[in-house]
């Protein structure tokens, strides 16, 4: 009897007496990927090469510093952040496609070569559609920001296809009958929904 008690005490010290492995399963394990809390919407995967992590803060800091004067892409830093929150994260080191990672890639290049990389990094994605086409980007901003203006993405893209496209985008395209004017007011609407009507198809501001 004493031998059995001693054996049980020894086992208890080592890991428990009479308990099964299932009693504590998962106590210290990582949660499954599907159960993990989602990351901030304004962040994309970080770069693997030691560059800046793809966050809206790093993106907006870079583009605000590099893209000035006639190449300025946002009304102000705060508006850049609210617009950036709508961008899909993308994959690390994306250099094309409508994503935050693509824009961060080109915002970094814009530090030394603002033309054309400011346009690629901006909300329009660049005249050549490097980080998404102008209409793709316009609709990606408008649909969640001004949901009453278009029925769905197909409706938005169809209407946008009829807007003139003046070329490289900047904040100075704010009073012309173009997709660029509507992108300008769509980005403004991310922090002030009073711009939704101005960004719409029948805008009285974005007219000849």
pLDDT confidence of residue 53: 65
Per-residue confidence (pLDDT) for residue 151, from 0 to 100: 96
Lowest mean pLDDT among 31-40, 44-53, 100-109, 162-171: 31-40
Q: Is the pLDDT of residue 178 over 80?
A: yes
pLDDT of 195: 95
Residues whose CB is less than 8 angstroms from the CB of residue 143 and which lie 6 or more positions away in sequence, other chains included: 150, 152, 153, 156
* pLDDT at 27 > cutoff 50: no
Any idea what DSSP says for residue 37?
P
Percent of the chain with pLDDT over 70: 74
More confident residue, 191 or 167: 191
pLDDT-derived band at 10 (thresholds 50, 70, 90) equals very low
pLDDT digits (tens, 9 = 90+) for 122-132: 999 998 899 99
Task: Please tell me the pTM assigned to this model.
Answer: 0.74
pLDDT digits (tens, 9 = 90+) for 29-48: 232 233 333 333 334 334 44
Q: Which long-range contacts (CB under 8 A, 24 or more apart) does 198-203 make?
A: 199/142, 199/146, 199/149, 200/146, 200/149, 201/149, 201/159, 201/163
Q: In this predicted structure, what is the pLDDT of residue 51?
A: 54
* Residue 207: pLDDT band with limits 50, 70, 90: confident
Confidence of residue 143 (pLDDT cuts 50, 70, 90): very high
Q: What is the per-residue pLDDT for 52?
A: 58
The whole-number average pLDDT for the span 138-157 is: 97
For the record, the structure tokens of 29 come out as: 């394990």
Which distant-in-sequence residues (6+ apart) come within 8 Å of 74 by Cβ?
Answer: 60, 63, 64, 80, 83, 122, 123, 171, 187
Tokens 């992590």, residue? 53
What local confidence, expressed as pLDDT, does residue 33 receive?
Answer: 30
Task: Please give the pLDDT value at position 132.
Answer: 95
Q: What does the mean pLDDT of the chain come to?
A: 80
């Amino acid at each position: 009897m004493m031998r059995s008690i001693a054996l049980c005490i020894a086992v208890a010290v080592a890991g428990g007496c009479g308990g099964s492995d299932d009693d504590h399963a998962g106590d210290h394990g990582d949660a499954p990927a599907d159960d993990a809390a989602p990351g901030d919407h304004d962040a994309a995967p970080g770069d693997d090469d030691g560059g800046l992590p793809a966050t809206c803060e790093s993106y907006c800091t870079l583009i605000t510093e590099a893209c000035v004067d006639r190449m300025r892409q946002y009304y102000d830093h705060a508006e850049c952040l609210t617009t950036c929150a709508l961008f899909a994260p993308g994959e690390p080191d994306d250099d094309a496609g409508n994503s935050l990672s693509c824009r961060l890639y080109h915002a970094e290049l814009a530090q030394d070569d603002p033309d054309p990389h400011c346009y690629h990094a901006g909300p329009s994605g660049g005249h050549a559609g490097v980080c998404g086409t102008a209409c793709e980007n316009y609709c990606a901003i408008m649909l969640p920001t001004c949901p009453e203006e278009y029925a769905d993405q197909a409706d938005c893209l169809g209407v946008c296809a009829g807007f003139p496209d003046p070329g490289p985008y900047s904040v100075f395209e704010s009073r012309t009958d173009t997709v660029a004017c509507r992108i300008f007011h769509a980005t403004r609407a991310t922090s002030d929904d009073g711009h939704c009507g101005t960004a719409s198809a029948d805008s009285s501001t974005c007219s000849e």
